Structure 1
Amino acid sequence: MGFVGYLMLLRRRAWGVAASVVLGVGSALVLSLLATPVYTSTATLFFSLQNGDTASDLAQGGTFTRDQIASYATLATTPTVLDPVIERLDLDVDAVDLAGRVSAAARNETVVLEISVDDTDPEQAAAIARAVSDQLIVAVEDVAPEDSEGRTTARVTTVSPAQVPTAPSSPDTALNVLAGLVGGVALGLLYAWLCERLDNRVRSAEDLERITDLPLLATLDTPPGADGRRDLVVVSAPRSAAAEAIRSLRTAVQFTARPGQSLTLLVTSANSAEGKSTVAANLAVSLSETGLRVALVDADLRRPSVAQVFDLEGAAGLTTVLIGQAELDDVLQEWGASGLHVLATGPLPPNPSELLSSPGMAEVLERLGRTHDVVLVDGAPLLPVTDSSIVARLVSGTIVVGDASRTRRPALVRALGILDRVEARVVGVVLTHVRQRAAEVYGYEPLEPAEDAEPLLSRLRRRGRVALTLLAGRSGQAATAEPEQEPVAVPRPTTTAGR
């Protein structure tokens, strides 16, 4: 993964990284505010020899004092010094507890000793520091060797008495917040990396290349319609980026046609709710807009949805033809002005796989292929049932739809493996729910339909007489005070692609 890949990773996990940073900084700030302030008071002592007549004596005495300074620092935290301090100040602690709050250290290998005391009360901290320094002077004079005249050889001078601190030494809120920020960033980066390593969804062409050589035909942002239903975005928002993505898919599909043959395509997915029916419906409408004769067959005999998408009658359809109760022409319904024909499922049978594998299914597809340029079949998911693997052998190609927000690589691999075992021709993969960045959208209106687009779409579904190209014009007339005029038919170019 290169630098750009890492930037894309951070962009995908930006919310997680930001949450980690906020958590780190917030935790540090809250803990700092809730922590009890601790004050530190420091006294400074200077150690020297009591006497010395020559420079040599003074030099040797200084060396001796530096060697002894560490011992004097240790002495400051012993009961010899602390017990008298406790008795003097009437402290409710013992020498062990007080030693944990007292520290003594020489400054830069000199004969200067600093005694520091921590306490929640600033005045108490100063009092203890003064008492400890005073008692240490007494203890040093007691333990230091004496000269020939019986005088102690060490002299201790207080050069900086302990003062009452005006600000707490801890917590250091600024330092804690900085540490929380660094920790939050580190935790966020770790979170992003772990999520990326553990996330096996198929979200892009790069992810698809890891598991198959099949091309990525299109990436679609396919949110549900206003009422939660599958949305015919090419009708409700024909100038949107989502509709343009469908038209890009249409172009890719037209190039999969074999010369001299009608194009019959199965649209399926690994699991349910991955957008296959939405893709099939929008692709069928988009293909019919080019002047092609298109038939859409709902072969999902478990959970059909095509009749609901187009607001058509679903009581009779494919199953009615397969069991011999109706002719194909009698149940084939025309939708819209572009000549799209829709074959609903009809009554749901108890034996879907047996019906789809019957000779009647192959005959239905063959008859539709003779009278149409493109036949799209909306099939059941591949992994739960075997229906689509049966239909895949009857069509000239199969499109596998995956949801970028939920389709896992192992599931897609198993689905493609099923198609490979039945020797089906897979023309490519379509990913749905791929969010479009603003930089990738040029000159398109928002996905929301115009004010009266939904009523017009309902009339289009019911009557099938209003031209699709008049949708934008009707929406514009609703926003003005001009009287409604009769629609003018727009000539539609005719293409021979796929014939």
Structure 2
Amino acid sequence: MELRDYIRILHKSWALIVAATLAGLGVGALASILATPEYESRTQLYVSVRSDNSATGDLVQGTNFARQIVGSYVDVIKTSVVLDPVIEQLNLDMTSGELAQYVTTSSPLNTVLINISATSSDAEQAAQIANAVGASFKEVVQTKLEVTNADGKSPVQLTTTQKAVKATTPTSPNTKMNLALGLLVGLALGVGAAILRSVLDTRIHSLHDIEQITDKPLLGGIAFDPETKTRPLIVHADPRNPRAESFRSLRTNLQFLNVGGGTKSFVVTSAGPSEGKSTTSANLAISLAETGARVVLIEGDLRLPKVSEYMGIESGAGLTDVLIGKAELADVMHRWGRGQLYMLPAGRVPPNPSELLGSLAMDRVLEQLNGQFDYVLIDAPPALLVTDAAVVGKKTSGLIMVVASGSTKKQGFEAAVRTLETAGTNILGVIVTMLPTKGPDSYGYGSYGYGVEEVEPSKASKRKSAKGKRR
């Protein structure tokens, strides 16, 4: 993926990322609240070696010896020989191994200092343990580890340079650290989930998704309208609607597809069902007729016709009757609206739609209509389900693919394009329907409605019904 892909993913999934970040903060805060406060106290010992004279060489030798043995002393402190007396002295209910987990020892590099730290949920107890461990360690060193001289004194001397005191603030939990860690983890999980969701999402959402599959031009984008089912013919029902304007923009682009002349007959299809091909065909035909052009819309989906239902035309007789010689073309065509728009319904559902659409009779029908009309639009079945679109597409100027944003699968669209190209069908371009009006996948609908009061579809419907009542 490119940088713009990541930016689009972050833009699209910002709510998920914010939610994950807030959840991480919440977990960090909850961990800080539920955690038992821990206090730490530290004592420090200084290790030295006694010398019988104060010569410089003896002093240096004693200091070097002290540095050598300090490393061993650090490991001895957490053994049972040192900790058992502490447990007995403080009456602790634990073993030396358990107590060792709460004791930390260290020695700064190139020094003769030993730091002994003790941690406990009780601040007073932490100080007591640290001091008791220091005292016990002194006793062990001077009476057991180092052999005493003839005068009964150990050559190694340990001096307490700092006694452990009761801590006033807990060292754990570190609320700031927990919150920062929760924020970073939540943010990382949110971004990861957004990228993973995008990678696993095989649906087409934007123009960039289409460009990755085919090099065919984008002819137009149709905005998503939740009232499409109740108002499928938006160009006729609400001409000032932004969605109606998008069909006019599509009309303009369609006029440039055949600049060299010749017939202007187009097949409109999609990869699968419910992608908006029938409503696109009907609205495109209406918008073309608005320019004064003579337009005929053929209901070429002989299996599941929908256009005649949208346009309110009786489909008792139609294209199938003409193809089998049971009716004349002029007898089954219907004029729709005030312009030069004609509708040829599908007629009765035949048992062999593909054969009828590929027959010589269909060639004669198209030849006759191309001579009478400026535009011939054919609403064909989905290309992946049946071969009808590929069959009739070779008889026209070309085929237009309809893709539903957020619905059409990339694999399905790619398979449909490959199938049509293998069949020798000329794919002229792509129309994207159901595009969101906002967000990274939108298609620039903010410019529509210039000089027009923009009204939500639901409010527009209410106003129309109110006007009808006043009449």
Alignment of 1:57-456 (within 5 A): 57-142=58-143, 143-225=145-227, 228-229=229-230, 231-257=232-258, 261-437=262-438, 441-442=446-447, 444=449, 446=454, 448-449=456-457, 451=459, 453=461
Structure 1 SS opposite 2:223: coil
Q: Which amino acid aligns with 2:124?
A: E
Deviation at 1:61, TM superposition (A): 2.4
Deviates more, 1:379-388 or 1:255-264: 255-264
Alpha-carbon separation, structure 1, partners of 2:238 and 2:120: 70
Q: Is the 8 A contact 2:242 2:445 kept in 1?
A: no
Alpha-carbon separation, structure 1, partners of 2:358 and 2:335: 26
Alpha-carbon separation, structure 2, partners of 1:289 and 1:251: 12
Q: Which amino acid aligns with 1:213?
A: D
Q: Is the 8 A contact 2:50 2:62 kept in 1?
A: no
Structure 1 SS opposite 2:265: strand
Q: Is the 8 A contact 2:227 2:457 kept in 1?
A: no
The aligned residue for residue 37 of structure 1 is 37
Deviation at 1:183, TM superposition (A): 2.6
Q: Is the 8 A contact 2:295 2:341 kept in 1?
A: yes
Deviates more, 1:28-37 or 1:190-199: 190-199
The aligned residue for residue 464 of structure 1 is none
Structure 2 SS opposite 1:231: coil
Alpha-carbon separation, structure 1, partners of 2:317 and 2:461: 29
Instruction: Report the CA distance shift for 1:389/1:77 in structure 2 as closer, same or farther (over 3 A).
Output: same
Q: Which amino acid aligns with 1:42?
A: R
Q: Is the 8 A contact 1:241 1:441 kept in 2?
A: no
Q: Is the 8 A contact 1:50 1:155 kept in 2?
A: yes
Instruction: Report the CA distance shift for 1:245/1:452 in structure 2 as closer, same or farther (over 3 A).
Output: closer
Alpha-carbon separation, structure 1, partners of 2:97 and 2:385: 71
Alpha-carbon separation, structure 2, partners of 1:447 and 1:274: 25
Q: Deviations over 1:225-266 (max 9, x none)?
A: 16x446333334433443332222111111123655341111
Q: Which amino acid aligns with 2:225?
A: P
Q: Deviations over 1:121-141 (max 9, x none)?
A: 333323322221221121122
Structure 1 SS opposite 2:424: coil
Instruction: Report the CA distance shift for 1:291/1:130 in structure 2 as closer, same or farther (over 3 A).
Output: same
The aligned residue for residue 491 of structure 1 is none
Q: Is the 8 A contact 1:262 1:372 kept in 2?
A: no
Deviation at 1:382, TM superposition (A): 0.6
* Structure 1 spans left out of the alignment, 5+ residues: 458-474, 485-499
Q: Which amino acid aligns with 1:169?
A: T
Structure 2 SS opposite 1:433: strand
Deviation at 1:355, TM superposition (A): 3.1
The aligned residue for residue 494 of structure 1 is none
Instruction: Report the CA distance shift for 1:30/1:236 in structure 2 as closer, same or farther (over 3 A).
Output: farther
Deviation at 1:215, TM superposition (A): 1.3
Q: Which amino acid aligns with 1:442?
A: S
Instruction: Report the CA distance shift for 1:276/1:224 in structure 2 as closer, same or farther (over 3 A).
Output: farther
Alpha-carbon separation, structure 2, partners of 1:308 and 1:33: 64
Structure 2 SS opposite 1:350: coil
Instruction: Report the CA distance shift for 1:242/1:447 in structure 2 as closer, same or farther (over 3 A).
Output: farther
Deviation at 1:5, TM superposition (A): 4.7
Q: Is the 8 A contact 1:236 1:453 kept in 2?
A: no
Alpha-carbon separation, structure 2, partners of 1:239 and 1:356: 37
Alpha-carbon separation, structure 1, partners of 2:407 and 2:27: 33
Q: Is the 8 A contact 2:251 2:288 kept in 1?
A: yes
TM-score (norm 2): 0.87
The aligned residue for residue 48 of structure 1 is 48
Deviation at 1:3, TM superposition (A): 4.6
Q: Deviations over 1:23-60 (max 9, x none)?
A: 43333333333333322222222323355641443333
Q: Is the 8 A contact 1:230 1:278 kept in 2?
A: no
TM-score (norm 1): 0.82
Deviation at 1:116, TM superposition (A): 1.5
Q: Which amino acid aligns with 1:210?
A: Q
* Structure 2 spans left out of the alignment, 5+ residues: none
Deviation at 1:386, TM superposition (A): 1.5
Q: Is the 8 A contact 1:320 1:326 kept in 2?
A: yes
Alpha-carbon separation, structure 1, partners of 2:77 and 2:34: 32
| Superposition RMSD in Å | 3.0
Q: Is the 8 A contact 1:38 1:168 kept in 2?
A: yes
Structure 1 SS opposite 2:117: strand
The aligned residue for residue 495 of structure 1 is none
Instruction: Report the CA distance shift for 1:38/1:249 in structure 2 as closer, same or farther (over 3 A).
Output: same
Deviation at 1:398, TM superposition (A): 0.6
Q: Is the 8 A contact 2:41 2:117 kept in 1?
A: yes
Instruction: Report the CA distance shift for 1:63/1:84 in structure 2 as closer, same or farther (over 3 A).
Output: same
Structure 2 SS opposite 1:388: helix
How many residue pairs align between the two structures? 462
Alpha-carbon separation, structure 2, partners of 1:410 and 1:223: 25
Alpha-carbon separation, structure 2, partners of 1:151 and 1:452: 103
Deviation at 1:109, TM superposition (A): 3.8
Deviates more, 1:346-355 or 1:198-207: 198-207
Instruction: Report the CA distance shift for 1:231/1:140 in structure 2 as closer, same or farther (over 3 A).
Output: farther
Structure 2 SS opposite 1:220: strand
Deviation at 1:380, TM superposition (A): 0.6
Alpha-carbon separation, structure 1, partners of 2:319 and 2:187: 58
Deviation at 1:197, TM superposition (A): 4.6
Alpha-carbon separation, structure 2, partners of 1:236 and 1:62: 99
Alpha-carbon separation, structure 2, partners of 1:159 and 1:235: 94
The aligned residue for residue 461 of structure 1 is none
Alpha-carbon separation, structure 2, partners of 1:5 and 1:418: 28
Q: Which amino acid aligns with 1:114?
A: N
